[in-house]
Amino acid sequence: MKISRNTVATVGFTVTDESGRVVGRTQPDEPVTALIGYHFLVPGLEKALDGHEKGDEFSVTLTPEDSYGKFDKSLVQEIDRSMFGDFPIEVGNVFEADSDNGPRAVVVKEIKDKTVVVDGNHPLAGKTLNFLVEVIDVREATEEEKKHGHAHPNGHCPSEEHEGHCCCHHHDHEGEEHACCHHHDHEGEEHECCHHHDHEDGDHECCCHHHHHEDQ
């Protein structure tokens, strides 16, 4: 079976930047399972998968427009320290801020006396990336998956296991291993699962549901 809209593809991949440095990868025991045609993957990767089948291996180079978008300076903002309430914050912490387009993960870039600089760009925004892809499996999507708009790995809806989220939304900080999908962290780290997060223009109301996982 070939990958097309309304199929479910299970893939593993390694992502490198223009210098050849590995900036993202899936774990061997945790590949990505995606319902094709529903914007779960970055658009260029989903397009490149079309027509491939189980066992195929290929590479594709994606521009920022086809992956995580251009770097948007407007998403780097300086906000009042009081917006974080009593949370103890450090550079590299990730918070969930409210924006005109819904919740957005923002990374603490700098802490000043009375303000905090946060960045709402995806860590790989603005980068040309090379994806080395392996197609592990392909199958027809179930009617329930098409209705929900996402894949059900092992026959179960992820929202039943993760409090309403399609995936676990793992947020952490520098120096830790990342093994969860829809991962947000900051520059210079490896990202286990590079899925698609739209970054439309919109101010951050902030801030703030803190997602912080230490020693995992």
pLDDT value of position 175: 33
pLDDT value of position 197: 39
Residue 106 near residue 95 (C-beta atoms within 8 A): yes
Residue 87 near residue 208 (C-beta atoms within 8 A): yes
Query: DSSP H helical segments within the chain, as ranges?
Result: 43-49, 143-148
* Structural domains of the chain ordered from first start: 73-122+204-210 (2.40.10.330)
Strands 115-119 and 102-111: antiparallel
* Range 181-184 contact pairs with CB under 8 angstroms and sequence separation of 24 or more: 181/32, 184/94, 184/105, 184/107, 184/122, 184/123
pLDDT value of position 103: 82
pLDDT value of position 171: 33
pLDDT value of position 159: 67
Residue 102 near residue 34 (C-beta atoms within 8 A): no
- What would the two tokens of residue 34 be? 């995606």
Residue 13 near residue 32 (C-beta atoms within 8 A): yes
In angstroms, the CA 118 to CA 192 distance is 22
* DSSP secondary structure of 125-174: TT--EEEEEEEEEEEEPPHHHHHHTS--GGGS-GGGTTTT-SS---B--T
One pLDDT digit (tens) per residue for the chain, 216 residues: 999 999 999 999 999 999 999 999 999 999 999 999 999 999 999 999 999 999 999 999 999 999 999 999 999 999 999 988 888 899 999 988 877 777 888 999 999 999 999 999 999 999 999 999 999 999 999 999 999 999 998 788 876 654 433 332 323 333 333 222 233 333 344 443 334 434 343 433 333 444 443 333
* In the block, residue with structure tokens 């949370």: 87
Which amino acid, one-letter code, is at 105? A
pLDDT value of position 207: 32
The residues facing 53 across adjacent strands are 2
pLDDT value of position 86: 85
Helix (H, G, I), strand (E, B) or coil at 116: strand
In angstroms, the CA 169 to CA 179 distance is 10
